Amino acid sequence: MTVVGRTWERLTIPGKILAVVIPLGAVLTAGLAILIAVIGGAVVQFLVDNLPLVRFVVAATIVLLMTVPSAFLIIYMEMKVIALMNLRYGPDRVGPFGSALSVVHGLKVLMKEDFTPTGADVPVFTLAPVVVYMSSVMSLLVLPFAPGLFGQDFNIGLLYFFAMGGLTVVGLLMAGWSSFNKYSLLGGLRSAAQVISYEIPLTLSVVGVILLAGTMSLNQIVLGQAGNLFDWYIWRQPLAFVVFFIAVTAEANRTPFDLTEADSEIVAGFATEYSGMRFGFFFFAEYVNVFIASGLTVAVFLGGWNAPFNWPWPVAVGLDPGSLGIGLLLLLTLGPPLAIVVLGLPFYLLNSRIRFWQALIIGFGLFNVIAVAAVLGLAFLSFDWVVGLLWFMGKTYVFVFTFVWMRGTLPRVRIDQLMGFAWKWLLPAALLNLFVTAFAILVLNR
Amino acid sequence: MSLIPGLGIVRGMALTLRRFFQPKVTHLYPEVPAEISPKFRGRLQLLYDEHGTLKCETCFQCAQACPIECIDMGGVDTKGRFAVHWGASETYGERREESALRRAGRTVPDVAYEHWSPIDLSAVDAILHEADHDPRRLLEILGATQAAYGYLPVAALKRISFGTGAWYAMVYGTATYYHHLRFEPPARLAGADEPVAPTVESGRERVEADYLAALDQAIGPGSKRPAGRVN
Amino acid sequence: MTTRTPFDIPAHASTDDPRVTLDEQLGVFEPIPPYPPRTEREAEFYTLRDGEMFLNMGPQHPSTHGVLRVVLKIDGEKVVDLDPVLGYLHRGVEKLCENADYHQAICYTDPLEYISSLFCEWSPVMAFEKLLDVQVPRRAEYIRVLSGELNRIASHALFIGWFALDLGGLTPILWSFIERDEIVEMLAALTGQRMLFNYFRIGGVNGDLNHEFMSRLGTWMSKATHQINSNQALLNENEIFVRRARGLGVIDTATALQMCMTGPNLRATGVPFDIRRAHPYSIYPELDFDIPSRTEGDCLARYLLRMDEVKQSLRIIDQCLHRMPDGPVMAKLPRLIRPRPGRAYAAIEGPRGQYATYAISDGTDQPYRMRIHDPSFIHLQSVGLLTPGNLIADTMAIMASLDPIMGGVDK
């Protein structure tokens, strides 16, 4: 037994771990530093040269990461809102007001057994959820969230959007066909018929907007609605808005057009044979689709990230941290403790039951709230995209609420009524809207 | 339907939105226990009196009255001697009446079988006395009973169960296991004067012969075993 | 592995076919029975024409109202033909009753139609009373009518919820469960159980009205009309609902009478036949109520008719409460009942139609024969008449509008 061996024996388990990790980390850091020193410049140069590519990769990653939390949020909304409309409490056990329940649902879905039924067409069966999910995520890429905050600004943005929306149906058909189940087959074929029928009025209804805006880029369409409430396209295209909203409801397979997964008729439609995370992909894709449908409605007809009115008193933040000099250091070191004590003192003085340390904790909490609010407020005033994102998300979630609200209220339509409605009512209305718009543009521009 | 299309839908949506803000009706169960009315009959528990002793005195009235025979109970008599038992017939193999037999899917000979038919049980009592009321000598008792009656009447089985303290299910199970024990009077063969009553010995030998044949098949003939006996 | 599609398997899978796996031989995927067809109808049904396929709906399906299995022969979304397969909930209630004594038999009839248990026990109790020639005290009759009409409202409330749920509405069933839960809780205070009440006894009822029941009933009655009316506003004028239910599953008067329909399903075709008025029993002749009827005979009419019946039931409850006499709630009877040999028939009007019992006594303490007539079974037969030609989604709506309960169908 050598000296090294004896020392090793005396170490505790955390000590052993640290004794390994620290030298390893040091070596790796050194290696990385050398690597950066050698090829870093070239990499940075490459990235700078190909900025659109970098932007695309970053945006795609962020969008992909964003889908799951937003799906969780919408699932929670759906559970809670429908429950409240049903005079139930809904989820109220996990997290504050049950808000973590959808996360738990996600974990449950991950832990479930993922099986493939006998007779299923395995490759197609496995790929179908991926196709559905990816088509949803990819249509999210062109949605303008805020000024400068969008994945990619195509000049054929809307067309790309509808193309990606149409890709969903391929995934649903794949799922329906490969499941080796007649309910799945019916669900898949229903979704094919439904989505293809409703794409026509959907596309035709936005042609009016495209004529008005003169572009198909979603970003340009939103920019064209800048100004106040009455510059939004909904006032110039009310009929198109109604047609678009109905068609987009059908595209997202939401009640009253949720025939593809009508549980009282065809069990769960295309998702009947799916379990585990594969079912989770369908589930998430459905709610991402709700978000997309709402976001698109907002972007095309309701001004996107434009505020409904202009803030009449512009606030300029003329604060320059550098001007404070050494005072900044004092403010950062002494400010927080002082603020904590000052905020906690009233509680200590007013209520004899609150002890000193409890008052300090309250003060700390209050200080944090104020500090975060101050930083956010600063950001709100300083950056355009924060304001834009807030308005966009606010409007979008109003529409998400409407979708959930409709699900809580309306019964389902029949398949022939669904088709008849699309071809007999929505399509003529969209065409009428298109002709009237074109005529008006022609007359007014003359 | 109203004249304006979509008005009904809008009114329904308004109604659900109004309900959205109304007070909720769900019982928050674990926090707020349900109010159970004093008349509620679904309690699955035995009651205790004010001294803390069990009120149930194992009178079996509830088990007898229960139409679906879901009450299963056992107990001890006043001398602490006999384990008494009343259970679901399908579960325990106990057959207390013909309707229970029918429900258990057994054929009931309606004519030959007399429900609680009066049978002179003094013979059974004598056999039991002779066997010292010992449940370990059950096979002997059953054999002697069959020799006395020609078959095993239900009343005799009940008396054996009562006398030895063995559960009726055990007695019944023992009796059904051996081929030589029967539950109905033996059918008279045409031309035969007396019904052939198989003895205890012949029955046991037949069971053993079955075992031996099975053993032979399993491990081959001529394997080592003590002179033709199965233990 | 080889790729298989639903159409790879031949319609009449022979066990010798190497393409057919063991699961398919056992009938896991195909609804075709493993035996050769026994009747011409069966042979015709299980022969597929071009473009048709079978859809095996049930016994585990969200909207077959229990364990009904329906083999649908579909052409696309259109139902060409259907074959209901019953018996998944068969318990042999009649035979069980014949092996129990008269008191015990009542409890077996309870779970027949488990959402309107009081009516299921009412008709055997009445039949046994006729066998025994017992005069039921007037207070007991009033209590029977009172609790029965409450149960009728609870049953109809659940019907509304189910019907809406089968049409895809999520909310109505939970709203109607609020009504039902309040009624069921107050009946639990009266009878001691929430669902299978076992409350009616031969010669009366088990226990008088108590304070808890009366206070719950009073609270509920003060708001019942308003609640029921406001709940209806969700569906009755909804264009989607009305368009789906109107003109669907129309059955005309002659066919309805030929199919032996009773209750709301018959009244929706224009025949105001109600046993409470046609063959009065209990204290119904003394009460003032109307028999609502409609002439359309479609799903919407059946739905709206039940709405009207709820209002009439509320009227009856109100009158019962105002006229409730004093007195005993149980006739004097021996513990062990041995009616003289004879036969008796009793029919009552339940929420789904005619519930009837025909009992024969042979002088022992058990009924010699007991026949139970259940309206669900009768009404379910007409699904085969109404559904072909409609879509899959309408199958659910039609089945729900006839309101069968599988506990009563399979007995």
Looking at the structure of chain A, the number of domains it has is 3
**Within-domain flag for A195:** yes
> Among A318-327, B221-230, C32-41, where is mean pLDDT lowest?
B221-230
Q: Which residues lie closer than 8 Å to B24 by C-beta, 6 or more apart?
A: A84, A87, A88, A89
Every domain of chain B and the residues it spans: 61-198, 199-231
pLDDT, tens digit (0-9, with 9 covering 90-100), for C171-215? 888 888 888 989 998 999 998 888 888 899 888 898 888 888 999
Find the domain containing A372 and state its range. Answer: 336-382
What are the Cα distances from residue A210, in Å, to A161, A230, A248, C200, C356? 14, 18, 17, 72, 69
The CB density around residue C141, as the number of other CB atoms within 10 Å, is 20
Q: Which of A442-446, B92-96, C157-161 has the lowest mean pLDDT?
A: B92-96
Which residues from chain B sit within 8 angstroms of residue A86, using beta carbons?
Answer: 19
To test the contact with chain C by mutation, choose from A182, A259, A416 the residue with the greatest count of C C-beta atoms within 10 A, namely A182
Q: What is the pLDDT of residues C327-369, one digit of tens each?
A: 888 888 887 788 888 889 999 998 998 999 999 888 888 888 8
Q: Are residues A343 and A393 in the same domain?
A: no
B182, pLDDT greater than 60:
yes
Distance CA C247, CA A289 (A): 35
pLDDT value at residue B89: 44
Give the highest mean pLDDT range of A45-59, C89-103, C306-320.
C306-320
Per-residue pLDDT of A77-119, as tens digits, reads: 999 999 998 888 888 888 788 888 888 888 888 888 888 877 7
Q: Say whether pLDDT at B42 is over 70.
A: yes
Query: Are A374 and A390 within one domain?
Result: no
Confidence of residue B34 (pLDDT cuts 50, 70, 90): confident
Residues of chain C positioned with their CB less than 8 A from the CB of B1? 237, 239, 242
Q: Measured between beta carbons, which residues in chain A are less than 8 angstroms from residue B13?
A: 405-406, 409
Same domain, yes or no: A290 and A359: no
Rounded to the nearest 5 degrees, what angle is found at the Cα of A155, between the Cα atoms of A149 and A161?
Answer: 75
Question: Is C168–A415 a contact, with Cβ atoms under 8 angstroms apart?
Answer: no
Q: Quick one: CA torsion of A222, A223, A225, A227, rounded to 10 degrees? A: 140
pLDDT of the residue at B228: 46
- Indicate left, alpha or beta for C60 from its phi (over 0: left) and psi (-120 to 50: alpha): beta
Query: Is residue C194 a contact partner of residue C184, using CB atoms and an 8 Å limit?
Result: yes
Residue bearing the bigger pLDDT, C153 or A315 = C153
| Chain C residues with CB within 8 Å of chain B CB | 96, 99-100, 103-105, 107-108, 171, 175, 178, 188-194, 207, 210, 212, 230, 233-235, 237-240, 242
pLDDT of residue A400: 92
Q: Domain-by-domain residue ranges, chain C?
A: 22-85, 93-373
Residue A79 lies in a domain: no
Overall fold of domain C93-373: Cytochrome-c3 Hydrogenase; chain B (1.10.645)
Whether residue A274 has pLDDT greater than 60: yes
- The model's pLDDT over B162-174, given as tens digits with 9 standing for 90+, comes to 888 888 888 888 8
Q: H-helix or E-strand containing C84? A: strand C78-85
Are A417 and C244 within 8 A, CB to CB?
yes
Q: What is the mean pLDDT of residues C1-17?
A: 48
Q: How far is A249 from chain B (nearest CA, A)?
A: 15
Instruction: Name the residue type at position C309.
Output: E
pLDDT digits (tens, 9 = 90+) for A301-319: 888 888 777 766 666 666 6
Q: Which two tokens stand for residue A443?
A: 């007359």
Instruction: With beta carbons less than 8 A apart as the criterion, state whether C159 and C268 touch.
Output: no
Residues A268 and A346 in one domain: no
Question: What confidence category does residue C396 fall into, taking pLDDT thresholds of 50, 70 and 90?
Answer: confident
Give the H/E segment covering residue C354.
Answer: strand C354-361
Taking CA–CA distances from C169, the nearest residue in chain A reads: A411
- A409 and A377 in a single domain? The answer is no
- How far is residue A403 CA from its own chain's centroid? 15
Q: Which residue of B has its CA nearest to A402?
A: B13
Q: How confident is the model at residue C151 (pLDDT cuts 50, 70, 90)?
A: very high
The pLDDT assigned to A1 comes to 61
Q: pLDDT tens digit string along C34-45?
A: 667 778 888 888
Q: Verify whether the Cβ–Cβ distance A88 to C174 is below 8 Å.
A: yes
Q: Is the peptide bond before A69 cis (omega within 30 degrees of 0)?
A: no
* Contacts A87 to B, Cβ<8 Å: 19, 22, 24-26
Q: Is the pLDDT of residue A282 over 90?
A: no
Report d(CA A271, CA A267) in Å as an integer: 9
Element (DSSP H or E) covering residue C373: strand C367-373
The answer on A39 and A119 residing in a single domain is no
Residue A31 has pLDDT above 90, yes or no: yes
User: With the CA atoms of C276, C279, C284 and C285 taken in that order, what torsion angle do they form, in degrees rounded to the nearest 10?
Assistant: 130
> Does A409 sit within 8 Å of B20, measured CB to CB?
no
Interface residues from chain B to A (CB-CB < 8 Å): 9, 12-13, 15-17, 19-20, 22, 24-26, 28
Contact list, C169 vs chain A (CB under 8 Å): 409-412
Closest CA of chain A from B4, distance in Å: 16
DSSP symbols for B117-179: -----HHHHHHHHHTTT-GGGHHHHHHHHHHHHSS--HHHHHHHHHHH---HHHHHHHHHHST
pLDDT in tens, B65-120: 777 767 766 655 555 554 555 555 444 444 445 555 555 455 555 444 445 556 78
Give the type of residue at C8.
D
Task: Mark whether A306 and A208 lie in a shared domain.
Answer: yes
Tell me whether residues B41 and C107 touch, CB distance under 8 A. Answer: no
Alpha-carbon C390 to chain mean position: 23
Same domain, A168 and A291: yes
DSSP A39: I
Q: Are residues A242 and A359 in the same domain?
A: no
If you search the block for the tokens 């379990």, which residue do you land on? A275
